Structure 1
Amino acid sequence: NDEQYWLYAAVDPETNRILHSRLFPTYTIPIAREFLTELAEKHDVEDALFLVDDADDLIGGLRRENYSYRVEQHGFRNSVERVLREVERRTSSFSNCFSHVDPPTAETWLQAHAVWWNHA
């Protein structure tokens, strides 16, 4: 349908494992903070250095949660981008088949994909 959702995802650049992913109906600093809180509940990220593009919502969320980050357009972040491009490719195929599903159904599929990805 006409609704758009944004995929927030955290990937370990050393292992390419998807650590956490969520769909949100918008992208804002409070949404980024919610995502980071959920990530911190699952993984020890207190001393992590987050590699991000120049997305204001992510940078604002990281600042407000007092996490270290580095804006990086190339380098290590590119390995993360490869993982996310694969998710996007599969999500695009998924979207073509299931474009009228509820967002929780899409999010469940993304979480199942992350489990598969991490064990493949």
Structure 2
Amino acid sequence: MERERTPRKIIEKGIRHHLGGLSLSNTVILLDYLGVDWSRVAVYNRIQKADIQPADGDNPDRVAVDQKAIRFNDEQYWLYAAVDPQTNRILPSGLFPTYTISIAREFLTELAEKHDIENAVFLVDVADDLIGGLRREGYSYRVEQHGFRNAVEHVFREVERRNHLFSNCFSHVDPPTAET
């Protein structure tokens, strides 16, 4: 029995569409339309095997930022995260022992090193430390509770879920390992 190989152009098209923002499920539908019967797992594995990532240095026009208290081994830390709400792509995040304006500035500096955010409008909730950091760094921001800022809230819900599972299984792990 001879194995039927998927044409390279169709594989490349599926990978390009997924990296362009198409979900795994929708990529499967696209490939099915092109005559390829792959599961979501098969698409995911093929993308991982290709080892292609979107180009860094993106310049999003909006960035949703927030911080959230999380617990490891009965100690509280603050997770700062940024998300491009148009692509739901997670930009840099960081785990800090407390939250202050200077820590928010440190987080924003790291973000600026990796992405062109000079002209971006930052979407924040009423987090005083982030607002203070954005003001001191000279960035534009808008206080927004819903809408595009929901992207970062989805990320935090998933992080909380994974953190809960992680802490149940690996309660002995130190914070640097947990951050990784």
What is the TM-score normalised by the length of structure 2?
0.58
Note the alpha carbon deviations across 1:31-65, whole angstroms, 9 max, x for none: 00000001111111111111111000000000000
Q: Show the counterpart of 1:66.
A: 138
Q: State the partner residue of 2:14.
A: none
Instruction: Return structure 1 stretches of 4+ with deviation > 4 angstroms.
Output: none
Structure 2 SS opposite 1:5: strand
CA RMSD of aligned residues (A): 1.1
> Is residue 2:62 matched to residue 1:9?
no
CA distance in 2, matches of 1:59, 1:88: 23
Name 1:80's counterpart in structure 2.
152
Q: Which runs of 5+ in 2 are unaligned?
A: 1-72
CA distance in 2, matches of 1:66, 1:100: 41
Which residues of 2 match residues 1-120 of structure 1 at below 5 A?
A: 1-108=73-180
Q: Aligned partners of 1:79 and 1:23: how far apart in 2?
A: 19
Shift of 1:75: 1.0
CA shift, 1:89, in A, is 1.1
| Cα distance in 1 between the residues matched to 2:80 and 2:88 | 15
Partners of 1:69 and 1:100 in 2: how far apart? Answer: 39
2:110 and 2:103 map into 1 onto residues whose CA distance is 11
Which residue identity is paired with 1:31?
I
CA distance in 2 between partners of 1:31 and 1:80 (Å): 19
| Structure 1 runs not aligned, ≥5 long | 109-120
Q: Percent identity?
A: 86
TM-score normalized by structure 1? 0.85
Using the alignment, how far apart are the partners of 1:76 and 1:45 within structure 2? 16
Structure with the largest fraction of helix = 1
